[in-house]
Amino acid sequence: MLALWAIPSLVAAPAWLPELLAPDRRSRNGRRQEPVKREGADAAAPAPRALWRDRTAWAVTLFMGLQSLGYYAILSWLPTLLQDHGMSDSQAGWMLSFSSFPGMAASFAAPWLQQRLRPAFVVPLAASLLCATGFVGLLTSPVSGAYLWLTTLGLGQGLAIGLALGYIVARSPGAHHTGRLSTMAQGIGYLIACLGPLGLGLLHSASGGWSLPVAALLAVLVAQTAAAFGASRDRHVLAPS
């Protein structure tokens, strides 16, 4: 199944061949074109240490990490949760796949919604509320309401990842800042995310049920919402106070 992902790459490869085979770009008179130097925000990359002291950069990083933690935790343990409540193995696996469809739709809609809805905090708040609804539903009636809860959860998590990636660009004044902020947000963010599957499994083993793990995911949502308050502000990283 994983090999199927090579198909889009093979389809796109011919379009890149001219770029790969050309030794350099030349103007019409045969002279090599020099890269255009940009002034201002793109003139130089910010020092990594500067971003580590910036509140907006940390808000973006924490939002990326916390929403990813919730996603990977559910990705790892949702079938087990449903099976523990009596759902068949095949149906539990299908429900995990089903949640990706509303998630993909919401991730594509996230940038459009973020640009048009005000205040900007409304969209990440809606993402958290959708996720919370899905978590609580999976705890109270996981089998009978599975389609409803996984639709709301997929929408919430899809919005969150779309916002997280969008904030990296929106909070950066230029391309160099985007690269550095992306490195920080995704590097640290996915380190945070790797705690999700492990932490949820440990809580499930310790408690013998799913109430404590789901309560922990709800607590993560509270922290995610707090991070979104700073990440969604119309402010660039390293901007003067």
Nearest Cα to Cα of residue 133 among 200, 192, 221? 221
For residue 237, being part of any structural domain is answered with no
- Which own/partner pairs from 202-207 qualify as long-range (CB within 8 Å, at least 24 positions apart)? 204/77, 204/80
Q: Which domain holds residue 133?
A: 48-231
pLDDT tens track for 45-54: 666 677 788 8
Residue 2: pLDDT over 50: no
For residue 94, being part of any structural domain is answered with yes
Residue 8: burial class (beta carbons within 10 Å; 0-12, 13-18, 19+): exposed
Structural domains of the chain, count: 1
pLDDT tens track for 182-196: 999 999 999 999 999
For residue 95, being part of any structural domain is answered with yes
For residue 193, being part of any structural domain is answered with yes
pLDDT tens track for 17-57: 554 454 444 444 445 444 444 444 444 666 667 778 889 99
Q: HSE (CB half, 13 Å, CA atoms) of 217? A: 37
Nearest Cα to Cα of residue 78 among 160, 189, 201? 201
For residue 1, being part of any structural domain is answered with no
The pLDDT of residue 45:
64
For residue 79, being part of any structural domain is answered with yes
Residue 12: pLDDT over 80: no
| C-alpha to C-alpha distance for 168 and 23, rounded to whole angstroms | 32
Nearest Cα to Cα of residue 180 among 45, 29, 58? 45
| C-alpha to C-alpha distance for 114 and 116, rounded to whole angstroms | 6
Residue 239: pLDDT over 90: no
Label residue 117 by pLDDT band (50, 70, 90): confident
Mean per-residue pLDDT over the chain, rounded: 82
Among residues of the chain, what percentage have pLDDT more than 70? Answer: 80
Average pLDDT over residues 73-95: 91
CATH code of residue 77: 1.20.1250.20
